[in-house]
Chains A and B, each alone.
Chain A
């Protein structure tokens, strides 16, 4: 089945540093990928839609200069949290729709990245 990977799975950084998270579709191409954020015991909140070859589309309230998204290829999207602060600590999850070639119209999710900012 379709697989999406994320790297790293866990990162701890100091306040003020930038952190890059990678999302890869391993056996299918994804022109679109989605980035979500999940706080403890809460649902997933869509942050942005990553589009290969064009700018990402950000949801209302998400700072595009703080959460930089680059969809470098049909299998890779990156999310960079710039000048991270403790309030950015969260679980970040990406997903990608495999398209109807995947059998059903859905999204496959990465395993998530736990970001802790000290």
Chain B
């Protein structure tokens, strides 16, 4: 079955860049996503990348995809205290109504 792994915790100083990594096993993934979850809240879609892309940049967010190694990363430039949250990567197979498989989540702590 699918398996998606992330490191559990990352601490960065305000203003530095954060890089959150994710590895997955399903080579048939069509889309890969990054979601943000603040305490006690649902998930907010941050960005996504289609499986035939290598990189996508959206303001402070840069997503890199290495399909050969099944490795996905999210870089947050100029990290702010408001970025403190849990970040989940997720993969989706084919079909619009296909389920998502979530990573284990990375807790990002931003310090002053």
Contact = CB atoms under 8 A, between A and B. Distances in A.
B88 A107 contact: no
B40 interface: yes
Interface residues of A, number: 26
A54 interface: no
A34 B99 CA distance: 8
Main DSSP-derived SS at the B contact region: strand
Contact of B92 (A41, A105, A112): A105
A111 B48 contact: no
Contact of B104 (A43, A111, A112): A43
A42 B105 contact: yes
Interface of A: 4, 6, 31-32, 34, 41-44, 46, 49, 93, 95, 97, 99-100, 104-112, 114
